[in-house]
Structure 1
Amino acid sequence: MTSRPEPTAASNEKHPLSLKVMRLSRPSLSSLSFSQALSVESNTQNILSDSLQTTPISLSDSLSLPPSFGTIFLGETFSSYLCIVNESNAKVSHAAIRAELQTQTQRFTLADTLSADCTLAPSKSAEFLIHHEIKELGVHILVCSVHYATPAGESKSFRKFYKFQVLNPLSVKTKVHTLVESGSVAGESNTGDGTRIFLEAQVQNVAGIPMFLETMRFEPHDLFQFVDMSVEFEEETGDGKSTKKQSVFSDTNLLNDRDSRQYLFALTSKKPNDPIAKVTPTLGKLDIQWRTTLGQQGRLQTSQLSRKMNAAAGGEAVRVEVRELPKLVCVEAPFTLPCRLWNNSASDTIDATVLFVKSRMSSVLLLGPSERAVGVVAPESYIDFSIDFFPLLSGVQKVTGLRVLDGKGGTLDVDVLCEVTVE
């Protein structure tokens, strides 16, 4: 089906060639009500009452052409039919067309036949089809230039402009939650650093028409692996069979206007204790494919989704962690904590020193000198060291007061290095 836009001509000069431009699009449902449809069908059957054939209302009676270019959404493929017709009584030589789609930032050439030698006899035409996937919001202008030569050999041309607006069919909002598990301190996490990132995505239909989400796929950054927690999953039962369960985040893929769906993705780093994964803000992007009323297909891919970095998410250039908690800590008995200092910088080497501030320490005191050199740490690397402590009280106690100097004047205060259970 086609719909014809209103052109804007560059000049009012009379030309032997005319340009027809129509957008190729699916029809829309007409406003014919169900009762009207029954009435039409009944009248049709009465007229044909002397025939054995029953003639129901046809599908085409329920469809209508969209006005002008209709609504064009981001992610749809724009298809158009171009036709140049010789409306004069003489042959026209070197007939050609050039079609460009201009956005606010780019210009695309969709058709160019200037190098072809086409001669059009009177009432003859040349037809072209153009296609382009819409990837930008805002005003788009289809610029069509028609070139030809008069019988006298004079080169002529004219242009027409077709303006249309591209709308966003979906509103995508995201939230990022970072969970640092306590098991990472004791080396219990299977990811190596005990950090999991939860990406929550809310997708809302703002197209004004019903929409079916055909595909909702998350493409993670190369540093991460993920689990989609918002799709159907199988669970083993006691008799060895599996049953399918549907996540509460996506009970149906059909979205009416202004309806929303929630999706949840759990990310972990591919490599244990990957320093780059701990500091990179980039997580990945969403790839969404959808269809509207009569099967119009569109695809929307978000830009790279990111997170705000902080100390809890590993956003510091230097990070200190405890590699393993001691199995037994007794009150008033020394114990040792094996530690690891990470240099998360991608280019800078640091000369690290650790010290403990006495006023910030609690009931677990430091044994030995309060300041000690750890050593030179290469970019994206680590160095291991150990610290001895003396617990004064029993119960769950916090190890606090650690400060790291990077040798260039930078400091990092670690509020709580870890918690130990003192017996």
Structure 2
Amino acid sequence: MSRPRAVSEASKTPHSVSLKVLRTSTGPVVSDFDPAAALAHPTNNADGVDFILAPVLTLPPAFGTTHVGETFACTLCVNDELSTIPPAEHEGGRMSINGVKITAEMQTPGQTSGVPLDLESRSDYAADEPEGAKARIQNKTHQRIVRWELRDEGTHVLAVTVTYTETREAGDGTGGALGGKVRTFKKLYQFAARHLLAVRTKAQRLPQPSRDGTLDMVLEAQLENVADASFVIDSVTLKQMPPGLQAKSLNRWEDALEERPRLNPRDVLQLAFLLRQETGESLDEDAASVALGQLSITWRGSMGERGSVLTGSLACKRIGRPLMGSAGKQQHHDGDCS
């Protein structure tokens, strides 16, 4: 994640709270880990080993890359910085922080004005801190979790606004307040989302008509891993198909007994579907092309994280040649989301 840009009211006094944004992501597996070092491995010499979990996972060295189709998640942490200052060093009386409120919005390439985000509470504070309520964070951290489905390629900006009240307590031991001041600041966190998967499709009619005179078509799809990470294809299905049309997968790996295909960087997977007009059903005879629906693709990352993309609407011309796009090129769907 790039360095945050702070926006706050014109004041020379430093804020009494700090904001940290931590991305919630899975850690990579250590490549040179020796399984014999784990306590689960039988050994006669366990001296010096005092932790039951082996160091198989490591923390990500950087923010990392986000991909279209995945869920971006991060934790917003507002920390009370006054708790680190001894009471004797507070000028004019002891200070306390309350009324903390966090709001966040996501600016995407398609919605630059920003979309308000729902903030999830941590389970630790769910019992004593109602959702949406202003919190008192004296001597602790106020945390919220943000999630966003990445559907656009390009630059995203997470805008986080923190509002809180500084209250100056009387020094006579009565616990009264001498006064309070509402303060606010805003930070922007910028990151980029890239495509993980490139999808190319081609649809055409079969040259020989079926015995009952119904329309038969073949939809071919090519999936290419255009990222630096490996993943496993979970499912590829056709959705939003028009009435009167049924699809049959010609891919053997979709059988329950077959292993799901794994795509390493730059690997390509070929897919095919047979689309057949149902007997007794009629399609739109006046249309120049037959709508086929949309291709839905789901996958799992190396640590089981899920992702999915949905292509644009597919179609097949009624003539017996492949559907062509503008400039005589085959119709191309590069991980489009809708």
State the TM-score, normalized to the length of structure 1.
0.58
Partner of 1:19: 19
Q: 1:259 to 1:277 in 2, by over 3 A?
A: farther
- The yes-or-no answer on 1:158 pairing with 2:155 is no
Q: Partner residue of 1:298?
A: 307
| Contact 2:253/2:261 (8 A) holds in 1 | no
Q: Contact (CA 8 Å) 2:298, 2:307: kept in 1 or not?
A: yes
Which 5+ residue runs of structure 2 have no aligned equivalent? 83-93, 120-129, 168-178, 324-338
1:64-123 deviations in whole A, cap 9, x for unaligned? 2223421111111111111111212621232100011110122332246996232332x3
- Work out whether residues 209 and 215 of structure 2, in 8 Å CA contact, stay in contact via their aligned partners in 1: no
For 2:104 and 2:115, locate their aligned partners in 1 and report how far apart those are by CA, in whole Å. Answer: 9
Among all aligned residue pairs of Structure 1 and Structure 2, give the percentage whose two residues are the same amino acid. 27
Counterpart amino acid of residue 61 in structure 1 = P
**1:169 and 1:205 in contact (8 A); partners too:** yes
Alignment counterpart, residue 210 of structure 1, candidates 225, 230, 233: 230
Deviation at 1:176, TM superposition (A): 0.9
Shift of residue 226, structure 1, vs aligned partner: 1.1
Residues in 2 aligned to 1:105 and 1:310: alpha-carbon distance in whole angstroms: 34
**Pick aligned residue for 2:153 from 137, 144, 150:** 137
Going from structure 1 to structure 2, the CA distance change for 1:21 and 1:233 (only over 3 Å counts) comes to: closer
Deviation at 1:312, TM superposition (A): 5.1
Bigger relative CO (Cα 8 Å, ≥ 6 apart): 2
CA contact (8 A) 2:205 2:215 kept: yes
Assess if the C-alpha contact under 8 Å between 1:41 and 1:55 holds in 2.
no
- Over aligned residue pairs, what C-alpha RMSD do you find? 3.5
2:90 is aligned to none
Cα offset, 1:207, TM superposition: 2.0
Shift in Å, 1:15: 0.9
* Cα offset, 1:127, TM superposition: 1.2
SS at match of 1:166: strand
Unmatched segments (≥5 aa) in structure 1: 43-47, 184-188, 235-243, 316-423
1:282 is matched with: 291
Cα displacement (A) at 1:172:
0.6
SS at match of 2:104: strand
Say if 1:87 and 1:270 are closer, same or farther in 2 by CA, change over 3 A: same
Aligned residues: 280
Distance 2:75 2:290 in 1: 44
- Taking a change above 3 Å as real, the CA distance of residues 85 and 161 of structure 1, as seen in their structure-2 partners, is same
- Aligned partner (choices 113, 124, 135) of residue 118 of structure 1: 135
Task: From the superposition, tell whether residues 211 and 58 of structure 1 become closer, same or farther in structure 2 (CA, over 3 Å).
Answer: farther
Match 1:74 to one of 35, 59, 68: 68
Is the 1:203–1:260 Cα contact (8 Å) retained in structure 2? Answer: yes
2:218 to 195, 198, 203: 198
Instruction: Kindly indicate whether the alpha-carbon contact (under 8 Å) linking 1:95 and 1:149 is maintained by their aligned counterparts in 2.
Output: yes
8 A Cα contact 1:74 1:166, kept in partner = yes
C-alpha separation in 2, matches of 1:259 and 1:85: 45
**TM-score, normalization: structure 2?**
0.71
Provide the C-alpha distance between the structure 1 equivalents of 2:67 and 2:137, rounded to a whole number of angstroms. Answer: 36
Structure 2 contact 37–54 (Cα < 8 Å) conserved: no
Q: Which structure is larger by alpha-carbon Rg, 1 or 2?
A: 1
Which residue of structure 1 lines up, in the alignment, with residue 7 of structure 2? Answer: 10
Question: Quick check: 1:269–1:277 contact (8 Å CA) kept in 2?
Answer: no
**What amino acid is aligned across from residue 191 of structure 2 in structure 1?**
F
